[in-house]
Amino acid sequence: MSTHVSESESEAQAGTDQQTTDRPAAQQRRLEKKRASNDQREQADSSTETDEETVHLKVFRYDPEVKDKQEPRFDDFHVPAKKGMTVLDALIYSRDHYDSSLTFRHSCRQAICGSDALFINGSQRLGCQTQIDELDQPVRVEPLPHQEVVKDLVVDMEHFYDQMDTVEPYFQEEDLPSGLDEQRQDRENREKIKMSTRCIWCGACMSSCNIAAGGNYLGPAAINKAYRFVMDEREGEDLKQQRLETIEEEQGVWRCQTQFSCTNVCPKDIPLTEHIQELKREAVKNNLKFW
């Protein structure tokens, strides 16, 4: 058998050997190019994260059950800003990403439940209703003033609820129609009490009232609730008289000094001061005697 290799075969073999040698080099070049591209992408992502706009929160902190937290203080949180972000959104982000012990109330997030009333940049507001981009920074978040702080941004609402219960804020069974008869209310009367029915029991008005802070004044929320029933034509005369007697007492409507602070902070735009003044007129008429 001949062992002679032709010149063409030798050249073909050399070409194959060269391709085998070049293949790892080409792969290495592709890998290096891919690494360089990944490095550039990571640098771009890092630069974006560094340049990302943030919201600066200064949040009141207090926990009477933890020794190191019994002294009130403010903690700083820097939250990535997003379009349409509310104060409540920023608080939830801070709790979920930075400090799981941060405590505050919230529920519906649609300005209906009233549970997230807070003292934001010096004014009573709903956290879920307050847009971050409308506030000066740092955004200072505190619990409602004139209320006992339970923990962080949570206050004890028991006194507020007691004041609301004083006026019995519900229809009672007296004078209800019998059988299938309707309990009618005309359109004009409905319009008269419509705004008063929007109260969500958030306590913002009570917190803003300096008179309520210094005593047992019923407060604007409770008096507004009394207004809602006193002015309702479906309310029986005996019950109306009973409610008027309640609000005429020393800690009732006459304690209001018409500061308008309650009206200014109401998240539902209820004309609380106007309702209080109207009940004052009703109280005067109720006590007029003609002989």
Which tens digits make up the pLDDT trace of 111-122? 999 999 999 999
d(CA 77, CA 140): 11
Q: 1-10, 25-34, 123-132 — which is least confidently predicted?
A: 1-10
The alpha carbon dihedral of 155, 156, 159, 162 has a sign of positive
Confidence at residue 3, expressed as pLDDT on a 0 to 100 scale: 46
Split at pLDDT 50, 70, 90, the class of 15 is low
Confidence at residue 2, expressed as pLDDT on a 0 to 100 scale: 46
d(CA 196, CA 282): 16
- Angle 103-107-140 (CA atoms, 0-180°, nearest 5)? 45
pLDDT tens for each residue of 115-162: 999 999 999 999 999 999 999 999 999 999 999 999 999 999 999 999
Least Cα distance to 61 among 51, 76, 50, 47 occurs for 76
d(CA 164, CA 263): 17
Q: 90-94, 180-184, 198-202 — which is least confidently predicted?
A: 180-184
Domains, the chain, ordered by start: 54-155 (3.10.20.30), 158-172+187-287 (1.10.1060.10)
d(CA 265, CA 207): 10
Least Cα distance to 137 among 223, 77, 197 occurs for 77
Confidence at residue 97, expressed as pLDDT on a 0 to 100 scale: 96
d(CA 112, CA 170): 19
Specify the higher pLDDT residue, 40 or 222: 222
Give the count of beta carbons closer than 10 Å to the beta carbon of residue 69.
Answer: 15
Flag whether pLDDT at 34 surpasses 80.
no
d(CA 155, CA 4): 100
Q: 7-16, 75-84, 236-245, 279-288 — which is least confidently predicted?
A: 7-16
- For residue 122, the SS3 value is coil
Q: Compute the average pLDDT of residues 41-61.
A: 70
Tokens at 153, concatenated: 């941004």
Q: Which pTM does this prediction carry?
A: 0.77
Tokens at 63, concatenated: 């926990």
Specify the higher pLDDT residue, 216 or 87: 87
Tokens at 23, concatenated: 């293949």
Give the count of beta carbons closer than 10 Å to the beta carbon of residue 234.
Answer: 13
Split at pLDDT 50, 70, 90, the class of 47 is very low
Confidence at residue 68, expressed as pLDDT on a 0 to 100 scale: 86
pLDDT tens for each residue of 266-291: 999 999 999 999 999 998 988 776 55
Confidence at residue 216, expressed as pLDDT on a 0 to 100 scale: 85
Tokens at 250, concatenated: 């020393």
What's the N-to-C CA distance of the chain in angstroms?
148
Least Cα distance to 87 among 50, 51, 60 occurs for 60
Hey, what amino acid is at 88?
L
Flag whether pLDDT at 5 surpasses 90.
no
d(CA 203, CA 220): 9
Q: Is the separation of the CB atoms in 211 and 155 below 8 Å? A: no
Which residues fall within 8 angstroms of residue 76, CB to CB, at 6 or more apart? 56, 57, 58, 59, 138
92 — phi, psi (to 5°)? -65, -40
Confidence at residue 45, expressed as pLDDT on a 0 to 100 scale: 47
Mean pLDDT of the chain: 86
Flag whether pLDDT at 205 surpasses 90.
yes
Tokens at 17, concatenated: 């050997």
Split at pLDDT 50, 70, 90, the class of 1 is very low
Q: What is the largest CA-CA distance in the chain?
A: 148
Tokens at 3, concatenated: 């062992």
Specify the higher pLDDT residue, 34 or 83: 83
